[in-house]
Structure 1
């Protein structure tokens, strides 16, 4: 009688978002795990389920935890949970701090996880570079977190909560994630596509010259998640790590736009360099939250692609759809 090896179960929380959909597509393509995701709206995106018919979808309200028991009842305890759910628009968080805290600190998710009474689940939680104050270049993981807006504050609270409550976790401080559009297009504007569309019109556009980030190509972000997942599923050793996850280049919005213009052949004369201080966005924004990714490359052996190569890949993918 052959012994059936239990297939591993992966749950992507907030799976209909930008990173979530890219992750789901990669997990289904790999084909070696059972995959489910949670969504907040009434129904999951039909085009996503049509493209990836092996997916299981569950409606969950993360603030109350409603719907999580249905996941354990019909899918089972996940071996890996990837939490991509968040209110990630800083201005929205500032306008409704209570909602930001309720959504971005995954208390109902973690208490559900702890209710299994074992350490058999790895929680991979998406945090942000906005946990840093932004007053220097190349922050390291051990640097103080001192966020300047409510979004950053809610994400710091989430990190502290996870570190206190969980014994098997990876917290990923992600920079701006960019890349091709998702199977079911997301509502928020994607940075490279937006820059390409405004520059293609030939009108002068303003870009900040004094706000620095380390944008990461979405496929690299997915590889980081898959790599952590594989190491946990293969050796079963609990992980407790906080990682900066950014690309190798520290770039301003201005330099991002110049890269898009170079790849597309647009004139630089339509790119107007301005200071971030010249525009009131209704929310404080950290000037320089570039990150040192030495720990990431040493631990996982992943070297994210350069910003320019990521732009080339993004625009090539858009052209082929």
Structure 2
């Protein structure tokens, strides 16, 4: 279940100092930059200097820490709020909205995103015969957990590698594996177990999402998708919506429209060609559904995005 805040937690001077040091490192790397993909492929840093309205985003299986400030992720009707005391884990590829709740120029929201490898989690469970957690959690696509000193210290060592790039190839795989191990020892272990356990509903929905990502431009037959992931059509609809806040058809539409937007913005395709490429046979249907998702027709939306990009470059 989403956890809204950390009310009632006692201050920990050692944790506070660790957060301060982590925020200092992220601050140094992100001056003048909102999002930074680091030389560690699985690690990116972010900086926000103002509070924001919810912004559409795509989340992959990942862990998100804030060293300073407060953010929240919105998935359907659920709000997952996280701060220096709590971290966010997403276990599926999900459409969501991200919002900064506390930030200023003097004290920006600073944090990191680390992509998870669910195969490493499965390997750790199997190779070391880890015992499943006794506690149970509801099946969701995102979870909020309490940040431990051990996990925070592991991430601090990961960020220190940015100063010694020659060490990344050797040490980063070890630290990455340790991060996944620490997560399996955290209060979110039950959710991680579920998503990598063969036969679980979370694992089946993950397989359904993988299938949709490959076949997004093909006609969707729910009975075939349900058979592919060994679920009944009613169970597929129920758990898919529970985990993603969308039906399989809505998820496919989101995939199609997101890819069409990328094709128009990055590859220069016009709306008709982009819609046809992602699986639409009717330009009017494509324009109608695009407008419903992004709030404006395709051509006007792309022109606006290019104008904003041009203004941002001129301001640099």
Question: How high is the TM-score relative to the length of structure 1?
Answer: 0.30
Structure number with the higher helix fraction is 2
